[in-house]
Amino acid sequence: MWVLEKFGRQVPDLKKYPFLSKSYLDPYEDLKQKHNAVQQPKWDQAWEWYDAYKSGTIPFLEYRIQIREKELEELEEDLKHFKATINKFGKNRTQIWLIKSYEKDIPEQKAEIAKLKRELEPLKEKEMQTKKEKQSELTLENEIFKLKKEILEMELKLKEVNNEK
């Protein structure tokens, strides 16, 4: 997280940050100016995650669920494609391995989505509960203000009646 805050929305390069040449990154591959165009989409994705994280726990979890569901759809489409190519062209060792790995990855992805949704439910319930508590506090405050207003109106009427006498 601090990396994003330190370097901003553009991929850091060696001209601007020379101390990065001694970092764990490969300075000649990752941080050259000409490679920034390749690295920028990854950097933008990291910023999307960071923005979602900063917006709060619930939006961040919803964003992660959305990303995982999109990845799951892509995995299922790829699996269908590989199965169709096997039916069309015959078996290939690589494709069989890919199909097995996809068949293994899809249930794991579904389990991760379910886990994220389970994490999200109590947070939403807690947020709804706090909203209801705030709402009840606001209604109590409104009642108090109404009563104070009525008291002031009654006092004003009493003063008017006393002034007329």
In a domain, 48, yes or no: yes
pLDDT at 36: 64
pLDDT at 72: 94
In a domain, 99, yes or no: yes
In a domain, 58, yes or no: yes
In a domain, 112, yes or no: yes
Which structural domain, as residue segments, surrounds residue 61?
A: 18-134
Summarize the confidence of residues 138-142 as an average pLDDT: 84
Concatenated DSSP letters of 16-36: T-GGGGGSSS-TTTTSSGGGH
| Cβ atoms of 106 and 75 closer than 8 Å | yes
In a domain, 158, yes or no: no
Number of domains in the chain: 1
In a domain, 146, yes or no: no
pLDDT, tens only, 49-95: 777 776 777 877 888 898 899 999 999 999 998 888 888 877 888 88
pLDDT for 114 beyond 90: yes
pLDDT at 1: 47
In a domain, 155, yes or no: no
- Binning pLDDT at 50, 70 and 90, where does residue 28 land? low
| Cβ atoms of 95 and 78 closer than 8 Å | no
Instruction: Report which DSSP code applies to 19.
Output: G
In a domain, 162, yes or no: no
Gyration radius from the chain CA atoms? 30
